[in-house]
Structure 1
Amino acid sequence: MALLGGILLLVMMTMTIVDVIGRYAFNSPLRGAGELTELLLVSLIFMGLPAVTLENGHVTVDVLTEHLPKWSERWRMAAIGVINTVILTLIGWQIWLHASQIAAYGDVTTTLRLPIAPIGYFCALCTFASAAASFMASFLAPSHSSIKG
């Protein structure tokens, strides 16, 4: 996953450099560079979502939780994981429905005429994978090493 993400970043970087040089040096920008950048960026973001979720790498705020007893940490993390699983599943389902609508319309990008629906389905699948990762992470070892059971 990390290798594919790195390749996507390299492609986006190269495409941006070629576009900027072509635009300012030769007055000939790379056709469709903006569209491709958008599609690659959304793919990259959703592709990393399951990995971040599995590692409990999301940003958290512990204003209230730092005052809770240590023994409740394991239960709280499990409950949050289950809630996150439900929310991510609902989001994935809505993305899937939206991608289905886009597919039914046959919507494509403006310049390159690339179909948009496959990116939507990919985002939905990545969100479902993130929901599964959230469920698994909620029952694995706690993310904080200071928990004493």
Structure 2
Amino acid sequence: MVKKLKYCIFLIIVLVVSKINAQVGINTITPLSTLDINGNVSLKVMTLNGTNTGGGGAATLINDGVYISVRPLATDDKFQLPDPTLFPGRIYIIRNIQNSVTAQLTTTSGMLFPKNSTTGSSNLYMYEGNLRTVIVISDGVNWTYMN
């Protein structure tokens, strides 16, 4: 009975330790990272239309997808990122697919910071020749963006 109990405790310890250091490999036998993918990755793609109300109207919420095409229907139509405190580590790739209409990117809380900068803003304008495509990453307080 004691021998079985010792064996069970040993087995539980081995399982706990192996779970702590677990690495998952997809199409690889020896993963070198927590998640190691040897192959292609597909991301959820979404297209969001603006509200056709411009900068003074309601924002279209961004709450699904990874690669997001925004289609402003009026200049400065707003597209709103979720609260960065609720989604630390969340990444979006956002592209304004309109050639001549500006999209305004906002957030429900926090600020938008360009990479390598300590100066943030509450909104970001995306248009032809200026930040047409941005990658935004939540740090748990704010969003950092890069193009």
TM range (shorter): under 0.3
With a CA cutoff of 8 Å and minimum separation of 6, indicate the structure with the bigger relative contact order: 1
The higher radius of gyration belongs to 2
TM-score w.r.t. the length of structure 2 is 0.22
Higher strand share: 2
TM-score w.r.t. the length of structure 1 is 0.22
